[in-house]
Amino acid sequence: MGIDSLGIIFQFAGGLGMFLYGMSVMADGLQRFTGNRMQRVLEMLTSNRLLGVLVGAGVTAIIQSSSATTVMVVGFVNAGILDLLQATGIIMGANIGTTVTSWIVSMSEWGEILKPEFFAPLLFAAGAFLSLFAKSHRKKEGAQILIGFSLLFIGLSSMSGSIAPYRDSPFFSEAFRILGQNPLLGMLAGLLVTAVIQSSSASVGILQMLAINGLVSWRAAIFITLGQNIGTCATALLSCIGAGRTAKRAAVIHLLFNLIGAALFGTFFYVFFSFSPAYGAALADSVGISIFHTVFNVTNTILLFPFAGLLVKASGRIVPQREQELKEATLAQTVETEMARHLDERILETPSFAIENVCHEAVKMGRVVLANAKIAAAALIDGNENFCREVFENEETIDRMEKRLTEYLLKVNNLSLNDEQHLIVHNLYYTIGNLERIGDHSESLADLARRRMENGYAFSQQAVSDLQEMAQASLGALECAVDARAERTMTKARQAVRFEERADNLEEEMRESHMDRLSRGECRLESSVIFLDALSAFERIADHAKNIAGYVKEEI
């Protein structure tokens, strides 16, 4: 191999690297730019299948990868956020959204001014200057999109330049002739390339680059493109390893969708090219491949959308539920187990969805903490030993929930986030910490209750009334704070602050009145220590609740 041939290989490899990296940078910038607006998509996901198709197309157009969208959907299904019927619509839409990249690549054939070598350097320069000198984070995110967009085109131009000397090479013409004559071989080639580089958008882009150089016949282009659509399923199939059977079924639905479409279109074009060999032998162009890629995915969605229920049933046949698993599914699962399932790493493919998922799980943790605080208060006031044991058991669960959520948040924090998302992640981290501390104070209340029962200490009627009032204010603050986190409303956050202020005032008043009762001999010294410690624990619970509400107010 001569130095010239080696240089061409290096140029092609470098161009491919810039093309793939440009796609990644552009998608990263788009995700940052859209930010938390994508969180609202979650509300649409659970609405209907038609909206699911639109959502799938929109998300894929932003993150530039149908594979990533499908992997994320597998995660949602595994987490129980979506059912299979809802997931089917999103998967169909993801296949439509992935055609956006092919249209971007085909821009070079729209006119001289749209050729990559003409405007890509200018875009790169604009993005670089904005990135270096702009102070606004919004402008920096826009700069990232420009840089990614230009790198994509520069890489494409580099690949095209490396291939240009071989336009008349018999190797390429013979290779594509063989792939065109054998539909299964053509599909297999497209499938393997896509499975290796883990992106149908990128593999279609490579095919378009070859078409720009006049190397691909329509017969070969059609079958290779169909294979590329099947190959994009590889990522989702790999991602569902170790997931639940429902998640595996979502990946199978993705595969069935593309297999059925490829079989229908492949059969049609095999017959068509048999009767019209001249069309099959004609050279394909980049725009034509974009049109076919889009028509295939849109038509396939229209044809199979009414049969989504049948696709779900077919996936159930392919991935059956075992009898033992059916029995296990009927058993009550602990909150901790549910959280482990819901914090699925596949959802990390899209940071905004991952943040929303953590918000939901943090609220669930808040509900558990609130319930445990109520049990602890009842244990202290009513003197119930069973309640004490329940508090201690729940506290162990709360500690494990805090550990799982913190670990997941650290992974989210390492993703590409904008300033607003960083703030939410930061606040969620401290929210979880405050909830864990409330759990500790609930455990302290249960300890006080146990000491009271073991030693037979009795509270005066006034002391019991004071504790009930203090518990009402403290737990009211916590409940409003958790509601504020769940609903993201300023009203609930302000109510939490008012409850906390009331708890502060009550503690001060109750300490003074208790000291008066103690001096009059109405309360025993031993029980007064427990009473005062309980007031402190309730007051600290209210303080932590105020902190949680404060984070919500900061975000709003």
The two tokens of residue 418 are 């904008």
Residue that wins the pLDDT comparison between 420 and 299? 299
Per-residue pLDDT tens digits for 216-228: 889 889 999 999 8
Residue 534 has pLDDT above 70, yes or no: yes
Poorest-pLDDT segment among 140-144, 411-415, 475-479, 490-494: 140-144
Q: Which two tokens stand for residue 421?
A: 């998302």
Structure tokens that stand for 437 in this block: 């501390």
Mean pLDDT, the chain, rounded, equals 81
Mean local confidence (pLDDT), 60-77? 72
Q: How many CB atoms lie within 10 A of CB 539?
A: 21
Indicate the pLDDT class of residue 144, thresholds 50, 70 and 90. Answer: confident
**pLDDT for the residue 172:** 53
SS3 217: strand
460, two tokens: 């005066």
Which amino acid is present at 218? Answer: W
Comparing CA positions, the residue from 104, 36, 15, 35 lying closest to residue 64 is 104
User: Does residue 350 sit in helix, strand or coil?
Assistant: coil
pLDDT the model gives residue 530 = 85
User: What are the start-end ranges of the H helices in 240-382?
Assistant: 245-275, 277-281, 286-304, 308-318, 323-330, 335-342, 351-382
Share of the chain above pLDDT 90, in %: 25
Contact predicate 147/128, CB 8 Å? yes
Coil/strand/helix, residue 550:
helix
Q: Which part of the chain is CATH 1.20.58.220?
A: 337-555
C-alpha 421, offset from chain centre:
13
**Among 478, 384, 476, residue whose Cα is nearest residue 438:** 478
CATH fold group of domain 337-555:
Methane Monooxygenase Hydroxylase; Chain G, domain 1 (1.20.58)
Taking residue 396's Cβ as centre, other Cβ atoms within 10 Å add up to 12
d(CA 226, CA 296): 8
Give the DSSP letter string of 220-249: HHHHHHHHHHHHTHHHHHHHTTTS-HHHHH
Can you give the pTM of this predicted structure? 0.66
Exposure string for 407-419, b = 16+ CB within 10 A, e = fewer? ebbeebbebebbe
Question: Per-residue pLDDT for 483 more than 90?
Answer: yes
pLDDT in tens, 95-134: 898 888 788 777 766 655 556 566 778 888 888 888 888 8
pLDDT, tens digit, 9 for 90 and up, residues 321-367: 654 443 443 333 456 666 766 787 777 877 777 888 888 889 989 99
β-sheet bridge partners, residue 283: 217
pLDDT value, residue 57: 84
Note the pLDDT of residue 334. Answer: 54
Q: What is the pLDDT of residue 321?
A: 65
Q: Vertex 119, ends 117 and 124: CA angle to 5°?
A: 100
Q: Are 493 and 482 in contact (CB under 8 A)?
A: no
Please give the pLDDT value at position 329: 39
Average pLDDT over residues 296-323: 86
Taking the C-alpha atoms of residue 454 and residue 278, their distance in angstroms, rounded to an integer, is 95
Q: How far apart are CA 143 and CA 123, in angstroms?
A: 9
Reply yes or no on whether the pLDDT at 242 is more than 70: no
Closest by CA to 101, choosing from 71, 66, 125, 126, is 66
Summarised one tens digit per residue, pLDDT across range 505-517 is 998 888 888 787 7
Alpha-carbon torsion, ordered 152, 156, 162, 164, to 10 deg: -160
Side-chain-side CA neighbours of residue 555 (13 Å):
26
C-beta of residue 235 within 8 angstroms of C-beta of residue 194 = no
pLDDT given for residue 375 in this prediction: 92
Lowest mean pLDDT among 103-117, 172-186, 474-488, 536-550: 103-117
CA distance 96 to 94: 5
Q: How many residues does the chain have?
A: 556
Pairwise pLDDT comparison (174 vs 58), residue with the higher score: 58
pLDDT tens digits, residue range 19-61?
A: 777 767 776 766 666 555 555 555 555 556 777 888 788 877 7
Interval 207-232 mean pLDDT = 86
In this predicted structure, the answer to whether residue 494 has a pLDDT above a threshold of 90 is yes
Burial 545-554 (b: 16+ CB within 10 A, else e): bbbbbbbbee
